[in-house]
Amino acid sequence: MQDTQEPIQDVAHLGHVEILTPRPDESLHFFKEVMGLEETDRQGQSVYLRAWGDYDHCTLKLTEASHAGLGHVGWRAVSPQALDRRVKALAAVGQGQRWMDGDIGHGAAYQFTDPDGHPMEVYYESQKYLAPEEMKSRLFNQPQKYIARGAGVRRIDHVNLMCSHVPTNRQFLQDSLGFHLRELLQPEQDGTEEGAWLSVTPLVHDIAYTRDFTGSHGRLHHIAYWLDSREEVLRTADILSENDIFIEGGPAKHNITQAFYLYCYEPGSNRVEIYSSTYLIFAPDWEPVIWRKKERGRGVYWGGTLPESFKTYGTPVVPVDEANKKNIATVFDPA
């Protein structure tokens, strides 16, 4: 029996994402009325939200800012000891920054950035959502009543970050936080990575990195919320259409992650994905799936392609000129 190194199992799951919006009222209306999220708190320039199926007090922190983009990504550790180990590892590679006292929804958090500069934090103490009496579900294992408002998304699923160099960033998450590489987009034989999908859970990704063809740093590609069925994603497409929300791609099926997806832009300019019907990975020795251009043969599973904006549009929005688009031969499928 081979004596392999044991896997790191210190990060439990994606806890929350903070996104920035220059149009806080319109963004809030979108997330509450169109997506169906619940507001749980407000503080300063921020509103704290969660989906009806999220067990934590907050999975989305929506903060007013001069421009759209990522505020930060919060990861929850499995135990105080695990948190301590990750803090040491982050500090050791020079990406650690400082401890902060906590925020609405969680306790003390250690702040760091990935190599591309996206702010992140890791913490253990977390506040569970406790529904007020009138919002308690008849299902005691459900954090609150089902919300039949707008899309009625169920829970946060993942975050996708754009970066200038995919390998550096994904390797950082693997080495310092114990993420598993699940799928990898390497269109050409030269090995250039255009996307990487990683997770600490059986979800095929808790986070993805996709190459930023504009050469920018620290941008957000999208955040994703989950629906239990493809039928509900289709229903959401109708709701978005009737609300004049731009649908950039889908509903359709990704090759990568196998997911049934839909991408739209919320009024503050951030891309939001509605996501369902992917697969789970339980094998402790999963071999990353490598996608090459010639093998894929087409952009998305059933045919068609994703729009070119998939390689250049992110938040903050930056001008796209011919120079920074020069490497975009074909638009692939960054799930």
The residues in 90-109 that bind its own copies, with binding defined as CB under 8 A, are 107-108
- 322 by Cβ neighbours in 10 Å (0-12 / 13-18 / 19+) ranks as exposed
Reported as half-sphere exposure (CB side, CA atoms, 13 A), residue 246 has a value of: 10
Using CB under 8 A, which residues numbered 284 to 313 contact its own copies? 284-285, 289-291, 295, 297, 301-304
Residues 6+ apart with CB under 8 A from 99: 108, 109, 110, 111
Question: Of these, 25, 139, 188, 321, which contacts its own copies (CB under 8 A)?
Answer: 139
Is 131 a binding residue for its own copies by CB under 8 A? The answer is: no
Question: Of these, 132, 189, 190, 283, which contacts its own copies (CB under 8 A)?
Answer: 283
When the beta carbons of 8 and 162 are compared against its own copies, the nearer one is 8
When the beta carbons of 52 and 172 are compared against its own copies, the nearer one is 52
The answer, yes or no, to whether the previous bond of 251 is cis (omega within 30 of 0) is yes
* # binding residues, its own copies (CB under 8 A): 87
The answer, yes or no, to whether the previous bond of 316 is cis (omega within 30 of 0) is yes
Using CB under 8 A, which residues numbered 219 to 258 contact its own copies? 228-232, 234-235, 237-242, 246-253, 255-258
Using CB under 8 A, which residues numbered 13 to 52 contact its own copies? 13
- Given a contact cutoff of 8 angstroms between Cβ atoms, the answer to whether 201 and 208 are in contact is no
Q: How many CB atoms lie within 10 A of CB 305?
A: 14
Q: How many CB atoms lie within 10 A of CB 310?
A: 23
Using CB under 8 A, which residues numbered 110 to 129 contact its own copies? 124-126, 128
When the beta carbons of 117 and 301 are compared against its own copies, the nearer one is 301
Is 265 a binding residue for its own copies by CB under 8 A? The answer is: no
Question: Of these, 57, 76, 86, 221, which contacts its own copies (CB under 8 A)?
Answer: 76
Task: Report in angstroms how near the CB of residue 217 gets to its own copies at its nearest.
Answer: 29
The pair of structure tokens assigned to 31 is 């997330």
Is 145 a binding residue for its own copies by CB under 8 A? The answer is: yes
The pair of structure tokens assigned to 141 is 């294992």
